[in-house]
Chain A
Amino acid sequence: HDALYCAIWTFSPAISRAKYCHSVDLHFCPHDLMYPDSADYPDLRKHNNCMASHLTPAIYAKLVDKATPNGYTLDQAIQTGVDNPGHPFIKTVGMVAGDEESYEVFADLLDPVIKERHNGYDPQTMTHPTDLDSSKLKSGKFDERYVLSSRVRTGRSIRGLSLPPACTRAERREVEKVVVDALAGLKGDLAGTYYSLTHMTDQEQQQLIDDHFLFDKPVSPLLTCSGMARDWPDARGIWHNNTKTFLIWINEEDHTRVISMEKGGNMKRVFDRFCTGLKEVERLIQEKGWEFMWNERLGYILTCPSNLGTGLRAGVHVNLPKLSKDPRFTKILDNLRLQKRGTGGVDTAAVGSTFDISNLDRLGQSEVQLVQTVVDGVNYLIECEKKLEKGQDIKIPPPVRK
């Protein structure tokens, strides 16, 4: 009886248009034969995102009948970009990866998207340097009359399990299990506790909110349209160490987001802990036969192509009352390869004159290089602020090496 409803059980990496078919290996879907690819090509005329800029009908036709070994398809990868046309001033990426293989199978689209988003980085010819040796960082202690807090974040994906847009409930639970088991092995100032979103008590929830640690179900359509919020809050949680300086989000936009942070300006210590913590977690998962998704073409593999390479955002909350009102502020930031955000994070406005300043780049430079860029850049901004306080003039710095 079941045979009437199940298609053929042939496993094939290149299968035609298997929509949302995680658990069934379909050989072909008969109804796909009814429509030419042009009938399914999305209408992107009002769109302004990287996917829309590069998805030609020819590329669509070439990739639409492919799927990764997990059954993830092009239509799924681009859904978020189709559903979110974008903003004339802010160019979003417009697509996601459902698994590690997405970056190979859909390379004809992802490579140009990556190249545009990451300033010309060409995945076909270049290699990405990974360097988590924090001892190489020079200076890294900011003037605390200006810098209020320091933070470094990245993401890591567990090889062999699909990414949040495509993972099944069991895979997501597996990610949680693998990571939580590893975190339980952390010691010393890294020792901590896991709080599952499903099981936390009201008291724990309140404490996490007060600490500004709690993440909630995403509301941004950029994220929800990719399918990453399915089954919320199943297998989602927050781990942090007892001193609240090392924090891990599980199964939000990525398998893991790893955050090291402190009040004050000691970026060096924040980065030290970041690197130590990451390496420890990696060692602990390797003991159990797992590893992170990484390759030398793209560095660390994450859900959004914008986070490839290092996935690293190192930043500070810094007070720059005079500099932020100077008309040259934006150009200075650009040349320093820095980005400003409000203190609520991406897409928020600054409160007063306190800004979140962080690195623009993610791919093509190592972790050490990017944190150094932030250290050097923020020091320069503070120097400018001090000069303006004294009534002296400031200079726009030459563009740093990209």
Chain B
Amino acid sequence: MEKINDKMAKLTIKRLSPEEEFPDLSQHNNHMAKVLTQDMYTKLRDRATPNGFTIDGVIQTGIDNPGHPFIMTVGCVAGDEETYEVFKELLDPIIEDRHGGYKPTDKHKTDLNPDNLKGGDDLDPNYVISSRVRTGRSIRGFCLPPHCSRGERRGVEKMSVEALDSLSGDLKGKYYALKNMTDAEQQQLIDDHFLFDKPVSPLLLASGMARDWPDGRGIWHNDTKTFLVWVNEEDHLRVISMQKGGNMKEVFNRFCTGLTKIETLFKDKGTSFMWNEHLGYVLTCPSNLGTGLRAGVHVKIPNMSKHAKFEEVLKRLRLQKRGTGGVDTAAVGGTFDISNADRLGFSEVELVQMVVDGVKLLVEMEKKLEKGQSIDDLMPAQK
């Protein structure tokens, strides 16, 4: 280093002030931009998690993606479990705003006992085309996708695959690493609608979670193709239970059984999922905290979806609509993806119950509208 001149060394040691570093958020509309003040930035800038994740890492995606006037994105991510502690001052108000007033002192209830779900096995398959429940899990001790090293990501993959390989019965299955799959395997996974690819959304890319693609990424599914796990996409694990038709109870049973088994396998290896009694399951995006659960159906409701009160009904039922291509897609021909809007502050059973009860009601309303009848007497109360 002696070849580098004095002037250079002096200038690089200088630390620029937090005022000079503060991002320009004047054009921005996301939760992070709403909450982050100069004072907060000044304070948080002097911290790092034990893994070296800093405030700039947390907020980069929100700076690079100003957002949309109608759609409020979160605008920040966690790089590890400790992010939610170290940067509390920023994340607590974001969590409160995003999750319907959830306070820093609130406790989140986890309930993965499928016996507590009432009904749900008889959604009308003439309307409900398919049923699905997904969540995410993070493995304690590893950094999350925005910040993990290649070694950690591979460690997550190795540990997950070992755990999944020991599943048996109707959960027995196989892992397909993205970088090793054959063309035939790839085509099959595409045909099954299982294959995930490198994210293109700048919301995800700007956080750094697509680094080193496709290293350490893969898809595991059981032989009957009803239980699927994504490894190292936006989260360490995304766990999906799904099947054609309206038997949400069976989907949820499998979901809970599978998750519980996987968790036991991880505990046997001396680790566990990231979880605490305030935030529930800890995931990369603050929007997925708590249950990380999205239970949904693809349902044919062409009449209901054109009804003036459709949005109001969904709001009261605490449900959300999406196109059948997933988030940010449009509905095709009156078929919608209907799922729970909440993630945190309600248990898994409670959320799936809302979907089951709500979809049942939507189908009833659809049938009435088909017959030209009014749905006014079916309007639900706000949940």
Contact = CB atoms under 8 A, between A and B. Distances in A.
Interface residues on B, range: 35 or more
Nearest to B154: A39
Interface string A38-80: 0111110010000000000000000000000110000100010
B15 interface: yes
A160 B46 contact: no
Contacts of A104: 1, 3-4
Contacts of A17: 52, 149
A168 B12 contact: no
B154 to A, nearest CB: 6
Given A161-B11, A171-B16, A230-B63, A35 B152 contact: yes
Contacts, number: 148
B4 A224 contact: no
Interface in A74-111: 75, 79, 82-83, 99-101, 104-105
Contacts of B24: 198, 231, 234
Nearest to B48: A24
B211 interface: yes
B47 interface: yes
A5 B82 CA distance: 9
Contact of B149 (A19, A22, A173, A225): A19
Interface stretch (A25-33, A202-210, A277-285): A25-33
B212 A173 contact: no
A170 B47 contact: no
Interface stretch (A6-14, A179-187, A302-310, A356-364): A6-14
A174 interface: yes
Interface string B17-60: 10011111000000000000000000001111111111011001
B150 interface: yes
Given A39-B150, A43-B179, A83-B212, A26 B64 contact: no
Nearest to A232: B64
Contacts of A225: 211
A5 B86 contact: yes
Given A21-B48, A104-B1, A160-B7, A168 B21 contact: yes
A70 B52 CA distance: 15
A204 B21 CA distance: 28
B63 A231 contact: yes
A245 B22 CA distance: 35
B8 interface: yes
B69 interface: no
Contacts of B213: 83
A392 B57 CA distance: 64
Interface string A241-267: 000000000000000000000000000
Interface string A209-231: 00000000000000011000111
- Residue among B23, B47, B205 having the largest count of chain A Cβ atoms under 10 Å: B47
* B contact face: mostly helix, strand, loop, or mixed: loop
A22 B151 contact: no
Given A99-B12, A168-B21, A173-B20, A6 B47 contact: yes
A169 interface: yes
Given A35-B149, A173-B20, A19 B52 contact: yes
B151 A35 contact: yes
A231 B15 CA distance: 19
A160 B54 contact: no
Given A69-B12, A229-B64, A230-B60, A169 B23 contact: yes
Contacts of B16: 168, 170-171, 174
A79 B52 contact: no
Contact of B8 (A18, A35, A100, A105): A100
A23 interface: yes
A341 interface: no
A18 B56 CA distance: 14
B174 to A, nearest CB: 21
Contacts of B327: none
A159 B149 contact: no
Given A5-B86, A75-B149, A231-B23, A24 B8 contact: no
Nearest to A160: B11
Interface string A150-171: 0000000001111000001111
A6 B50 CA distance: 7
A82 B12 CA distance: 28
Given A5-B48, A83-B212, A170-B21, A23 B56 contact: yes
Contact of A100 (B4, B17, B20, B143): B4
A291 B149 CA distance: 36
Interface in A117-150: none
A291 B6 CA distance: 13
A329 interface: no
A69 B63 CA distance: 26
Nearest to A24: B48
B17 A170 contact: yes
A23 to B, nearest CB: 6
Interface string B63-92: 110000000000000000010011000000
B155 interface: yes
Given A6-B47, A234-B23, A101 B150 contact: no
Given A35-B149, A82-B211, A101-B1, A23 B45 contact: yes
Contacts of B357: none
A11 B64 CA distance: 30
A23 B43 CA distance: 12
Given A82-B211, A159-B11, 13 more contacts: A11-B13, A20-B208, A23-B54, A23-B56, A83-B210, A100-B4, A101-B12, A159-B8, A169-B22, A171-B16, A174-B16, A174-B20, A234-B23
23 contacts: A5-B82, A5-B86, A6-B47, A13-B1, A18-B52, A19-B51, A23-B45, A30-B50, A30-B51, A35-B152, A40-B151, A82-B211, A100-B4, A162-B12, A169-B21, A169-B22, A170-B20, A170-B21, A171-B16, A198-B24, A232-B64, A291-B7, A295-B3
Interface of B: 1, 3-4, 7-13, 15-17, 20-24, 45-54, 56-57, 60, 63-64, 82, 85-86, 143, 147, 149-152, 154-155, 179, 205-206, 208, 210-213, 215
